[in-house]
Structure 1
Amino acid sequence: MGYLVLENGTVHDPANGVDGEVRTLWLKDGKIVSPPTEDHPPIDRRIDCRGYVIMPGGVDMHCHIAGPKVNIGRQMTPEYRRDEGIPRGEGRRSASGGLLPSCVGTGYMFAGLGYTTAMDAAIPGLHARHAHEDLLDTPLLDKGFYLLFGNNQFVMDRIREDRNDCLDAYLAWALASTHGYAVKVVNPGGVENWKQVSRKTVQQLDEPVPGFGVSPRAIVRNLAASVDRLKLPHAVHIHCNNLGVPGNSETTLRTMQALDGHRGHFAHTQFHSYAGDENDPSSFRSDAARLAEYVNANPNISIDVGHVNPGKTLGITGDAPFGYFLSKLTGNRWYAADSELEASCGVIPMEFQPKKALVHAVQWAAALEWYLLIDDPWRIAMSSDHPNGGAVFRYPEVIHLLMDSAFRREAIGKMHKLLGERTTLAQLDREYSLNDIAIITRAAPARLLGLKHKGHLGEGADADVTIYTPSTDRTKMFQRPRYVVQAGRVIVEDGEIGGEVFGKLFTVSPGMDEGQLPVIQKWFDDAHTIRFRNFAIEKEHLGTVETVASS
């Protein structure tokens, strides 16, 4: 196999200190390689990139693209896919589009925007096989998923008993058995309480979970400590309690403090950064500035934003109590399901109307505040919590808002008239550069995930490259890449998907001492925990796998 040569493009590769330099990239065997030394190297294709902007392939570290909850969302909203079909072409399968496309359409949608890696943010262990089937049917992307532990009965029992050895061994075994990538926490303790007869969540960080005697604070702290002891590549991935509720910023701040210096990644922080009184919706306002100040001062914390876009969307969450809250608030149809041992999910169609609804306007603005107030772009990743805050195809509009303060001021002027009283957005003049965008959409999420071959264009990196036609209309520029290359193969050319290729699955190899293995075996031999054995998934079922070792 010969080289693919990308000649004389303007390269933005922040991980390697390259900011707008004209360079030629050599790609071979799925990797970025050094220029050949022979006089006549075998070249399969040259692409003249003069005048084009070159970045690594995009990395979305928090989205929902696989598993039962996503398929329920597809079934609930056939109207979202009307007239949104992706046309059949040579080497391509038929696929539905819209806000929540089919598995095939999901791969086409992400790749068509320049993304080559995507991680599903919430899968229960007992549904891991279903998630793998969906990911196997999602082309053009490298992918993986996070495994839910924040309401796991085994986890809470071991935390109450102060059995760190058992907790570590269980997390390592569960991740290996399900071929998951990271430890995920959703509404710690609150989902388990919801699943009981009371149908109530846990709202206070130090409130004990009925029947288990552990608090959300203890769950977060102990899982964060366990993840660090296991040296997992990604920090514990946290969805805080009280999502969407006025006044929840205090819960978020206390959860950050509960880490006690351990690593923690906070998901869709926009939905957790509201001041006000939970009993008075009219008090709703942004508290992103206070939380951003804390994040700036604590380098153990990273975030993804969870920005919202005007228009229809679909709430898909492992936080069923929040789905129920939304159903009562909006009157929309709603679906919920409980999973044995660990999880519960809620699915609800919804629509953001920031021009009419003050709450939606505050949410729209709070997300932009997060992007603009975090000093270090290496600790923040672009995310809409797809499709919750809006589909991934709305990312270009958010990029435009971040790069062009005049465009942002114009957008603010179209929002609810009271927005200025509830956020600080109008006071922020910061503008992102192309290099900043390359960080939050590529380099930073790859680094935060511990994916050393992603998010950059240095020698040895995966040959994932996106090539854009520059434009002052940033929405237009990022909506339709000129070329997208995945693992050294051109998969998009002038907006058209070319061919059907499948990416790899990312899993982890937790660092577990040999002495811990008998510990977890003992617990699985116990009659009360024998059911956990059913997690195991054969590696042969998974297709191409890349296992990321503990750091």
Structure 2
Amino acid sequence: MGIRIDNGEVVDPANKVNRRKISVHIKDGKIVGDAGADCHVIDATDCVVMAGGVDIHTHVAGPKVNFARLMLPEDHRYDHVSREEGYMRSGAGGVVATTFTTGYRYSEMGYTTIIEPAVPPLGARHAHEELVDIPQVDKAIFTLLGNSEIVFQYLENGEQNKLQEYIAWIIDTTKAYSVKIVNPGGANLWKYCDNLHNIDEKLKDFDITPRDIVTGVSDAMTALKMPHPLHLHCNNLGVQDSYKTVMATVDALEGRQIHLTHLQFNSYGSGGKRKFSSEAPRLADMVNANPNITIDVGQVLFGRTVTITADGPFEYHLHKMTGSKWYNGDVECEDGCGVVPYDYKRKSFVNCVQWAAGLELFLLVDDPWRVYLTTDHPNGGPFISYPYIIRMLMDKDFRKEQISKISAEAGTEIPLKVLEREYSLEEIAIITRAGTAKRLGLADKGHIGIGADADVTIYRKSDNYEEMFAKPAYVIKDGEIVVKDGKVVKQVFGKTFHVKPETGAADIQEDLEDFFRDYYTINIANYPVGLEYLPNAKLVECGK
């Protein structure tokens, strides 16, 4: 049976529909022109109808996420999710929720697609096993290549064709959707307890620089016509004057397509009495001037969380600075990771500048199609905080109230204090679904035009935007009602997107066999992830 949604205000920026009362018809998991006379009718009077949310960057699966869960056993006590609450599976919440709880909580906010953006190739098999256990949403992974020694060898030798072939092979082998680079070269140098501090500093074991890594991988991805461009975590994250590294990286890219992730964490300067300042206005100007760039923000929220990243040197720095417990991991020949629990405090000058910098990026980037809502979950805070962030963006009086609660010293220095912009519902729809789906190259997501996937969220209108976006009246996933009044009523399992780039630029089979034999602990025959690990796989064509 189909579904028809009547009397709601449709907000669908991808199709240039803004708060118009249009009936939405759903049948066989798709948006259609007519759902039929016998369809189920939802009266959406006093409601806003949007496509399901699309999160472009959230850490929900893979080795580092599991280490974070192990380091936070208290979450299992204070935020226990039981079947008695109406869920299909029990679990735990907290800042790094278990798999089933992750899916339920995304669904209860109106999200229907999420991206795990940082999986080392060796961890891909288990990451896919975890994704299978995340219900209610479609998903995909990005594979980490910014510290791969195979990538480094091809770059050092000037073998761009072989690099292109390797990226095509590793993407298909891991059943990934795109490539993520974290602190290019820095995690490799961390093996020597060192780091890279600018994009033209050479590695110890390879005659290459971060500039070479970023431009070489970007060129290979462009040649492969991948749907999402290089997803980049820049060098020097989290330190004073990190914004300079971002600007140098953008200059080095010379107009190449790039997505700069959790840019807030690279938006710091060394101004002011404390020698720590927000340079978000400079970076926003940079984004505004370069149409090849998109960003997600990585908004910081006050409270307890855990930081998890492939940027091992940064995590050690954070551990030494806070004295908090620390996990460090090295993924053979590929990358590394670190995990450190952290508490963002309203009375901390530095934390307040971080909090403000994220909001400044949202408010100062002119084009909402190029800035996306994330917290870099869980690094800036848990994804369940999205409705609170939306309220701060849409309600300047509420935002000013929040500013009044932070460190008085920070409150006088942050550029945020003078910003008056308020986001519209249309702009919120762009930064949470339409824009992210477009940048990911997911043509059937982020909109509710005919032919789109029937992922629809219905929000009851309210002047309190946090309440409005926290508990949708209905969420429809692939044509089935899965949430009513903010609670899951049906469990479904979504698709896993992956790509298979076609190349033939070079023959690298012998190279790979030699490298695996000499350096890996596993045989190359045991390395690929088969489609049996993606029971509901969806291949997205490159070049579309």
TM-score normalised by length of structure 1: 0.95
The amino acid across from 2:194 in the alignment is K
The amino acid across from 2:45 in the alignment is R
Match in the other structure for 2:101: 105
Choose the corresponding residue for 1:188, options 184, 187, 209. 184
Match in the other structure for 1:9: 8
Q: Is the 8 A contact 1:231 1:511 kept in 2?
A: no
Choose the corresponding residue for 2:227, options 227, 230, 233. 233
Deviation at 1:322? Answer: 0.8
Match in the other structure for 1:472: 463
SS in 2 for 1:351: strand
Match in the other structure for 2:430: 439
Match in the other structure for 1:31: 30
Deviation at 1:225? Answer: 1.1
The superposition leaves residues 303-338 of structure 1 with CA deviations (integer Å, 9 ceiling, x where unpaired) of 000001111111011111111111011111111111
SS in 1 for 2:281: helix
SS in 2 for 1:509: coil
Match in the other structure for 1:510: 501
- Tell me, which stretches of 5 or more residues in structure 2 are unaligned? none
Match in the other structure for 1:357: 348
Match in the other structure for 1:255: 249
Distance 1:160 1:422, change over 3 A: farther
Q: Is the 8 A contact 1:223 1:236 kept in 2?
A: yes
Alignment of 1:295-374 (within 5 A): 295-353=287-345, 355-374=346-365
Distance 1:528 1:477, change over 3 A: closer
Kindly, what percent of the aligned residue pairs are identical?
A: 44
Aligned-partner Cα distance in 2 for 1:199–1:115: 40
Q: Is the 8 A contact 1:81 1:99 kept in 2?
A: no
Aligned-partner Cα distance in 2 for 1:508–1:256: 26
Distance 1:230 1:64, change over 3 A: same
Aligned-partner Cα distance in 2 for 1:527–1:204: 29
Aligned-partner Cα distance in 1 for 2:181–2:525: 21
CA RMSD of aligned residues (A): 1.5
Choose the corresponding residue for 1:47, options 36, 42, 51. 42
Aligned-partner Cα distance in 2 for 1:542–1:295: 36
The superposition leaves residues 246-301 of structure 1 with CA deviations (integer Å, 9 ceiling, x where unpaired) of 11110111111111211110000000010118xx9920100011111111111111
Distance 1:420 1:163, change over 3 A: same
SS in 2 for 1:223: helix
Aligned-partner Cα distance in 2 for 1:87–1:11: 35
Match in the other structure for 2:210: 216
Deviation at 1:500? Answer: 1.9
Match in the other structure for 2:472: 481
Choose the corresponding residue for 1:519, options 500, 503, 507. 507
Aligned-partner Cα distance in 2 for 1:160–1:342: 16
Match status 1:396 vs 2:387: yes
Tell which deviates more after alignment, 155-164 or 418-427: 418-427
Deviation at 1:83? Answer: 3.0
The amino acid across from 2:130 in the alignment is D
Q: Is the 8 A contact 2:329 2:336 kept in 1?
A: yes
The amino acid across from 2:243 in the alignment is S
TM-score normalised by length of structure 2: 0.96
SS in 2 for 1:122: strand
Choose the corresponding residue for 2:452, options 451, 455, 461. 461
Alignment of 1:57-206 (within 5 A): 57-89=52-84, 92-195=88-191, 198-206=192-200
Choose the corresponding residue for 2:541, options 540, 543, 549. 549
SS in 1 for 2:118: strand
Q: Is the 8 A contact 1:86 1:105 kept in 2?
A: yes
Aligned-partner Cα distance in 2 for 1:538–1:173: 13
- Tell me, which stretches of 5 or more residues in structure 1 are unaligned? none
Aligned-partner Cα distance in 1 for 2:336–2:513: 27
Aligned-partner Cα distance in 2 for 1:59–1:500: 18
Aligned-partner Cα distance in 1 for 2:93–2:402: 27
Tell which deviates more after alignment, 255-264 or 176-185: 255-264
Deviation at 1:495? Answer: 1.7
